[in-house]
Amino acid sequence: MAKAASDITNDITFVAFSDGYDDGFKLSDDHEHYMTEIRNRGSDTLRDTILDSANQGRRVTCLVYSLLLPWAAAVAREVHIPCALLWIQPATVLDLYYYYFNGYGEEINNSSDDPSWAIQLPRLPLLAKRDIPSFMLPSNSYKFALPSFKEQLETLDAETKPKVLVNTFDALEPDALKAIEHYDLIGIGPLIPSAFLDGKDPSDKAVGGDLFHKSEDYVQWLNSKPRKFCYLCVFWESFEAPKKSIACGVPVVAFPRWTDQGTNAKLIQDVWRTGLRVNPREDDTVESDEIKRCIETIMDDGEIGRELRENAKKWKKLAREAMQEDGSSTKNLKAFVEELGDCC
């Protein structure tokens, strides 16, 4: 990670802190204690960093924090600087958590075991059980997660019209960005390296968080193949993969497992229409024939395959337009920064 950080830019300073688990976190460890340690140690480090920076003549003018770090917003209020949540999942997922904690949680808990159950929420598509984030379902085994999301929303609710920067763009989720009246959801994405988006910086290919050494051997092999030879099969269906596939115009085969992945797969297959979702068996495994079906449907010249590929091209064009100088995401981010300047 240190090597990755050094490759990004000299204009960014990284400050590390111990979470109290320097030997690594084990699944058998106490999750609540772990989250408490992160909160306490992180708050102290963040507070000291902000104050030290001010003493050095580099005053922090805004704090942007990400998922499950509501304590960062508390520190911002304590030192009197504005803050904004950076929501890295689809706006639709944020809406789902908001609705869950504002009147729909009981219905989801009581009805989601019915295979035919579905729920229609304001400004969202019709959602079945498998489309709901797994942390909301009774079967969720990560008990620390849902209270953490609740605290995240309570932190936003404590502010008046809080600003949430969302890794999406206006054309991709127009209704979801407007679903929560009390929040100001601002589409500023897709936040991906330039090489995958506008190509202005071909060397900008990674976000700096790769855990494994990359190999370029496969690129030459792929380039030797005919057009439409390749597809993307995503087994870890967080929003990182879908936003890259959208920006690159590549249809996907999605195999969601947990957290927001089911919602992402729903959007990919039924809303954006840029890919297919595998259908698992009752034991939650997926047979090779099912994966083959999805791949062949996308790759062949049938009506569904052509539609998915055309939609992928359409969203690629719209994603790149959003990040142009006069695009919606660029304008939204500039307006956010300008408003900060007026307040400082």
Q: What is the DSSP string of 34-80?
A: HHHHHHHHHHHHHHHHHHHHHHTT-----EEE-TT-HHHHHHHHHTT
Query: Does the fold of domain 216-322 match that of domain 61-189+327-343?
Result: yes
Domain ranges of the chain: 1-48, 61-189+327-343, 216-322
Least confident residue range of 31-45, 148-162, 229-243: 229-243
Give me the pLDDT at residue 20, please. Answer: 86
- Fold topology of 61-189+327-343: Rossmann fold (3.40.50)
Q: What is the pLDDT of residues 59-95, one digit of tens each?
A: 999 999 999 899 999 999 999 999 999 999 999 999 9
C-alpha dist (Å) from residue 102 to 47, 172, 248: 32, 25, 36
* Architecture of the domain whose range is 216-322: 3-Layer(aba) Sandwich (3.40)
Does residue 226 have a cis bond before it (omega within 30 degrees)? no
Q: What is the pLDDT of residues 287-335, one digit of tens each?
A: 999 999 999 999 888 999 999 999 999 999 999 999 999 999 999 999 9
Residues near 181 by Cβ (< 8 Å), separated by ≥ 6? none
Instruction: Categorize the per-residue pLDDT at 175 as very low, low, confident or very high, splitting at 50, 70 and 90.
Output: very high
Residues 97, 263 contacting (CB under 8 angstroms): no
Burial class of residue 281 in the structure, from the number of CB atoms within 10 Å of its CB (0-12 exposed, 13-18 middle, 19+ buried): exposed
Structure tokens at 3: 């090597």
pLDDT > 60? residue 125: yes
Instruction: Categorize the per-residue pLDDT at 111 as very low, low, confident or very high, splitting at 50, 70 and 90.
Output: confident
Question: Is the torsion defined by CA of 152, 103, 96, 185 positive or negative?
Answer: negative
Distance CA 255, CA 270 (A): 15
Report the SS3 class of residue 282. Answer: coil
Instruction: Categorize the per-residue pLDDT at 213 as very low, low, confident or very high, splitting at 50, 70 and 90.
Output: low
Compute the chain's Rg from CA coordinates. Answer: 21
pLDDT > 80? residue 224: no
DSSP string for residues in 85-108: EEE-S-HHHHHHHHHIIIIIHHHH
252's torsion region: left (phi>0), alpha (psi -120 to 50) or beta?
Answer: beta
Least confident residue range of 3-17, 62-76, 227-241: 227-241
Which element (helix H / strand E) includes 316?
helix 303-322
Structure tokens at 8: 């990004």
* Average pLDDT along the chain: 87
